[in-house]
Structure formats: C-alpha cells, structure tokens
Structure 1
Amino acid sequence: MNTMISGTGSDVLLLHGGGVSGWMWRPVLAQLTGEVRSIVPDLPGHGTSGSIDYVSHAETVARIAQLIRDQAHRGAVVVGFSLGGQLAIKLASEYPELVRAVLIVSAETRPAPARAATLALLKRTAPLARLEWFAKLQAKQLGVPSSYLAEYVRDSQALSVTTLLASVGENLAFELPRAFSDYARPTTVVVGQRERKLMHESARLTHAALPQSTLIVAEHAAHDAPFTMPSLIADEIRALLRASGPSHAK
C-alpha cells in the first residue's frame, strides 16, 4: 500500500473509507499540525494503491499490521472511518499489541439486510461511478468539501469493479469480532446524529462490547464527520493520545 507519512510526535494511523483515499483526512490533520506523526495509507484498490485490488478485510488488516510494525515500532493510535473503522476494529481485535488506542467513526458492526440484492444492484450500476455528474452527486451526499471534489471524482472514476464489489461486500457483511470485547486500551466510538438507524445501532453495539469505551453522537453530522466536524475528530484523537501515553517512531 502506498502510504503518506508526515510530521513528528506520537504515531497516528488513519484509515479512510471506501471509495476515497488518504486525502480525506486532510481537514482533520490540518487541526493537528505539529502534534502528531501521521501515517496515512491508501488502502488496496483506492487512490495511489489502485493497482492492488481490494481482496478482503483480512488481507488488508494483515497489510496494515505490517505497516505499523515497519513504521510505528511502539504501536499507533488508530483512527478509522466507515470501512476504515471496520478495519480498525478488526486490527484491534487481532493485533491489540499494535493498537495503542482506537477511534472508530461511523462503522457498521452488524450485517446489513438484503446484501445479495444490494451487491447485484451495485454491480449493474457500477459504470455510473465513472460519470462525473454521478460522482459529484455522491460527493455532495458525503459532505465532501468543494476543495476536495476533484480528488473524490478521480478516485470514484478509478475504482475497479473488483475492488468496489469486494470492499462493499465485506462492509455489508461485517460484524463485531468476539475478540474485540477483550481489547483493553482506550477506545472512542463516534456516530453522526443524522446517520441512518443501522449506523446508530452499530455504534451502540460497538460501545456495549467495551463498557470502558466512550460513545459520542456528533450533533448535526451525517456520514461525513471527518469533513464537516474535523475539530471534533481532532479533539478525540488528542484525548486518546493523552490516555494512551506517548508513542514515537524510532
């Protein structure tokens, strides 16, 4: 996976959502300038990692674990949005020694209904993603700022059908791993106030699995908190950094 690393300070790994890439974290990182060493990969099949098809959450988490071993020798605070939030949960469940704390933003943690029908429809409509007007419509629904519209359209048009179906299929089928309830380090779960019912149910389920975790409902946010409420996300990262202690690259 191609990865952007910048800054100095405690290591923070940020995992983007499906259909976008690492650029989506720029509003949050602008709030954290000079405070963290950010590690921002483009997940397989996305952005500058587009030559590697997305295969599965398991394969991607193995790649992320190796990235942390290589770049954050004392572990990292891990932040994940949507699909990236699912990956953060799986990473904390399977490699807790690498995850100093975790911030989970808008991640579904119970299987969605009618998955087969959804994927069949997605396969038929996939060519629409290559149309600029359709990509711009999706960007508006996600709250993507106009300054990042070109990046969103580019990523949407470049996403292969293989990656689209694999990543969405994994997203729809994802459920909270049993091992997640054993994760003992600082955890915060964020859900947008205006998100759909399944997302709120997922946030409560994730929080309930770790009674020591913090659940935050972001007022006025939909499925777009990193874009529309970057200061909130940055504040929660700072809180987790304080709770987990310093982590610096060697």
Structure 2
Amino acid sequence: MLQYDEYGNRDNTTILLLHGAGALDTFCRQYCFSDKYHLVVPHLAGAGKTADEIYDPEKTVEELFVLINALQKKRIGVVGHSLGGQIAIMLVSRRPELFYFAVFLSAWVNPRPKTIRNYCSLAGLAAQMLHCKYLVRLQGKYWHYTAQQTDTMSEYSKLITPQIYRSFFANTLDLSKIPEYQMVKLPMMAVCGSRETGDMKTSLTLLAENPNCQTIILKKAGHDFPMRNSKELNPLLEKFILNQLENPFVFPLHIL
C-alpha cells in the first residue's frame, strides 16, 4: 500500500491531499486544516518515499483505491494539485460514491503533442537541477516550506531521474478519454491562477462542462498558488468544504 503522511484526528472527516509532481508538501500551507479535518497525504510516484518510481497513472489510481478502502471511511473529500488534480479527476470519475466532494487545482487535461514533447525534452536538465541541493533548498524557501520539509525535498529529489521527470508529462490526463467525468454528480470545484498558461485555462473550461463543477480563476496567481497564494485559496477551500459536509451532495452557490 502507498505510504502516506497524516495530520489531524482520524475521527474527523478525512480529506485526501494529492500533491503535485515531485512536490510532496504541495499543501504545506493547507496543513492548518488539520485542526478540523483528518488530512492524508500519499507519497505519489516521483516524490517522498516513492521518489524513485516512474509515474504510472493507472497504477497510482489502483493504489489510491486500496488506501481509501483501508481508511474505513464511508466517504472522504479529495483535493489535488497539478498532477494530483489529474489523479483526483480519475478517482471521482471511477468511484464517485467514495467522495463527498472534489477540488482540482491547476489540473491540466488537454495535452497537446507538441507541448508534451517540449516538456519531455527538458527532462535531462530538470533532473540535473533537482539533484542540486542548493537550488532545491531555494525552491523550498520560495514555496514557504519548513526547514524539515525543505530537507526532505532536497533528499528525495536526488532520486528523480530524467525518466521519472518525463513520466509526469508523458502521462498527462486527456479529459476527452474520460467520458465518465461528465456523469459525476458530486460537487466539484476547479481552480487555476490568472498567470497560468492558456492550456491550463482551457482545462478549466473543459472541466466546467460538467455542470457540477464550478470554476474559479485566482487573480495574480501562478501555478504554485497552493503554496504562494494560500491567503486567497484557503478561504475558498474552507467555504466549499464546509458547505459540502453540511449539505452532502448539494451543489453550492458560486464562491466569489
């Protein structure tokens, strides 16, 4: 079973936090929600204790279902960022009955071959940079990581090979191949930053084709807004989550 970190009381509602590619503590600025909820952070391929594993979305989804069943909760919430957001979409599309709600942060779902090739071509250089402890520590500081979180990232990043980095992009989710998503009835929210790429904003539009998914663009926010723009993001998450738990499966008013 996937290894995971957890925060908060297990008796509270569980929220699965699916981190971005290679960034175990993507939700460092949301761990404060542990005062109300039980937070579970699986170590996905390419990060933490599974940093040396190539990302395989199908394998990851199956492992997560095993983990969810082991939690022995009737339902849970799920929040995913970037790669984790793609995985969250796959989870709720296949087994929506396991969830109260889903939040997709910067989930890229319209991969274009040329764009994928461009990202994959950078794998060698990216891996070299990830093996430089100084650069990784600078990144951790920029993301507001604690000293311990930064140390952890600088250690496991040395295990990320070009093949692993390439797998993050080569396996980008194509929403058009997940027709089940359009039938999902549980409340969903998709968010991206105003400073993100056009592809990311197009992805937001595609996710909104399901009427149960509301979409929000955070002003003056880039791709790393869970770490860098938590003052704007956290109130949105708090209101959305509370609404779903107080009124299960009732689509909420648009959050502004």
Structure-1-length-normalised TM-score: 0.85
User: What is the distance in 2 between the residues matched to 1:72 and 1:87?
Assistant: 21
User: What is the distance in 2 between the residues matched to 1:235 and 1:188?
Assistant: 13
Q: Compare 143-152 and 181-190 and name the one that shifted more.
A: 143-152
How far off is 1:71 after superposition?
Answer: 0.8
How far off is 1:58 after superposition?
Answer: 1.1
Seen in structure 2, the aligned counterparts of structure 1 residues 118 and 225 have a Cα distance that, compared at 3 Å, is closer
Describe the superposition over 1:109-137 as per-residue Cα deviations: whole angstroms up to 9, x where unpaired: 10134123432342465333212354356
User: What is the distance in 2 between the residues matched to 1:231 and 1:41?
Assistant: 24
SS at match of 1:109: coil
Seen in structure 2, the aligned counterparts of structure 1 residues 41 and 146 have a Cα distance that, compared at 3 Å, is closer
User: What is the distance in 1 between the residues matched to 2:242 and 2:131?
Assistant: 39
Structure number with the bigger relative contact order (C-alpha 8 A, sep ≥ 6) is 1
Partner of 1:215: 215
Partner of 2:85: 85
SS at match of 2:208: helix
Partner of 2:187: 186
C-alpha RMSD over aligned residues: 2.4
User: What is the distance in 2 between the residues matched to 1:94 and 1:126?
Assistant: 33
SS at match of 1:24: coil
Partner of 2:98: 98
Describe the superposition over 1:47-80 as per-residue Cα deviations: whole angstroms up to 9, x where unpaired: 12235x1341111011111111111421211000
Answer whether contact 2:127 2:160 (CA < 8 A) is retained: no
Answer whether contact 1:88 1:102 (CA < 8 A) is retained: yes
Runs of 4+ in 1 over 6 A off after TM superposition: none
Matched, 1:240 2:241: yes
Answer whether contact 1:10 1:36 (CA < 8 A) is retained: yes
Amino acid at match of 1:108: W
User: What is the distance in 2 between the residues matched to 1:72 and 1:242?
Assistant: 23
Matched, 1:107 2:107: yes
Seen in structure 2, the aligned counterparts of structure 1 residues 159 and 66 have a Cα distance that, compared at 3 Å, is same
Answer whether contact 2:100 2:244 (CA < 8 A) is retained: no
Aligned residue runs from structure 1 range 1-250, under 5 A: 1-8=2-9, 9-21=12-24, 23-30=25-32, 32-51=33-52, 53-114=53-114, 115-123=116-124, 126-135=127-136, 143-145=142-144, 147=146, 148-171=149-172, 174-176=174-176, 177-208=178-209, 210-238=210-238, 239-245=240-246
User: What is the distance in 2 between the residues matched to 1:149 and 1:117?
Assistant: 28
Tell me the percent identity.
23
Gaps of 5+ in 2: 249-256
User: What is the distance in 2 between the residues matched to 1:241 and 1:230?
Assistant: 17
Answer whether contact 2:17 2:80 (CA < 8 A) is retained: yes
Describe the superposition over 1:152-200 as per-residue Cα deviations: whole angstroms up to 9, x where unpaired: 43343232333222222112x5335211111100100110111111111
User: What is the distance in 2 between the residues matched to 1:235 and 1:125?
Assistant: 34
Seen in structure 2, the aligned counterparts of structure 1 residues 50 and 190 have a Cα distance that, compared at 3 Å, is same
User: What is the distance in 2 between the residues matched to 1:33 and 1:75?
Assistant: 17
Q: Aligned pairs, how many?
A: 240
User: What is the distance in 2 between the residues matched to 1:218 and 1:46?
Assistant: 26
SS at match of 1:25: coil
Seen in structure 2, the aligned counterparts of structure 1 residues 54 and 211 have a Cα distance that, compared at 3 Å, is same
